[in-house]
Amino acid sequence: MIRLIPLLFSFSLFAQSDQILEYCLINEGKTVGNGNCVELVSGAMKYAHVHRWQRKLTVVTYPEPGDILTMESCKDTAGVSWTAAGEGHVAIVKEIFPDHLVVYQQNANGSAVISSSFYYAAFGCEVFKFWRVKN
């Protein structure tokens, strides 16, 4: 009898970006850690076996699924700030489209892990970067 291995299991055979996305999918609708946005990223990195992950990231120009998105000093199209002064927000890129990104994030208006869209025209962030785990 052949036994299949469940998909929702973290193996080192899978790319780290796939493991990062898998972690988000498993935790969608849940609160990770203390509920801060960075807790989602930290948990995903640990799940993907990326230790000391802050030292293993590099800035990239074009995002791919599993990349980390950091934003600082953001305002919506009406000029209303949605990140506190000196603070930012982090999310994990899920999908890329010509006019927007779909990201996994936590603590967006106090939310648990959700998948939501960010439209480029509405970003309005002074600092906006994509980061990828270096292999």
- Name the average pLDDT for the chain: 79
User: Whose structure tokens read 């890329």?
Assistant: 96
Domain ranges of the chain: 16-133
Distance of CA 75 to the CA centre of its chain: 19
Which stretch of 16-25, 33-42, 116-125 has the lowest confidence by average pLDDT?
116-125
Residue 7 pLDDT: 45
pLDDT tens for 21-74 read: 999 999 999 999 999 889 999 999 999 988 777 777 888 989 999 999 988 776
CATH architecture of residue range(s) 16-133:
Alpha-Beta Complex (3.90)
Residue 31 pLDDT: 94
Q: Which of 68, 90, 71, 69 is nearest to 134 (CA)?
A: 68
